[in-house]
Amino acid sequence: MLRILITTGLLLAAFSATAAEPAAHAADPDKVSRGRYVALIGSCNDCHTNGFAPSGGKVPESQWLTGSNLGFSGPWGTTYPSNLRTKIGAMDLATWKAYARTLTTRPPMPYWALNEMSDADLEALWSFVNSLGPAGEAVPAGLPPGQEPAGPVVRFPAPPPPESAGKP
């Protein structure tokens, strides 16, 4: 009896090890194409892919979501859209989902949209990014307010003072 239990235990352990393997990375074509759609409609490339918006989206897919060294400067300092190919690629699915649900960032990343993404869309996005594989470099580190960035940035004006809110 003990032997059977041990054997069953070993089998279960072997099974769960296989299930947790990057076999999950083996691309399901439906999820990958849904993830491509989510990335495109979610406008992730507009910021996270160099040159995407200025070229009207004509950047080869192999370069999608590799991050951007065009910074965004405003009252929050300067931020750079991260390399999502390496960032998401380094996470297993469960980690990615938990991370995406609770992520907060500095502007102009619309993290609230990611927080509300459905489970199926988060999984699809993860499958798509993993199907492309890791690529690109790390983006420059963000800067605190008052520190001048060295490279190109999009500048956001300071928000209007509260008393002028809503007035033309």
Of positions 50, 66, 79, 131, contacts ligand HEC by CB under 6 A: 79
Q: Are 106 and 37 in contact (CB under 8 A)?
A: no
**According to the binding rule CB under 6 A, does residue 96 interact with ligand HEC?**
no
Decide: 96 and 122 in contact? Cβ < 8 Å.
Answer: yes
Query: Letter for the amino acid at 33?
Result: S
Q: Decide: is 108 part of the binding site for ligand HEC (CB under 6 A).
A: yes
Among 70, 109, 124, 153, binds ligand HEC (CB under 6 A): 109
- Report the residue from 28, 33, 91, 106 that binds ligand HEC according to the rule CB under 6 A: 106
Residue 46 lies near ligand HEC (rule: CB under 6 A): yes
Complete DSSP assignment for 56-73: TT-S-GGGTTSB-S-EEE
Q: With contact defined as beta carbons under 8 Å apart, do 65 and 132 qualify?
A: yes
Tokens coding 114: 């990611």
124 binds ligand HEC (CB under 6 A): no
**Structure tokens given for 97:** 């989902």
List residues near ligand HEC by CB under 6 A: 42-44, 46-48, 72, 79, 81-82, 84, 87, 103, 105-106, 108-110, 113-114, 142
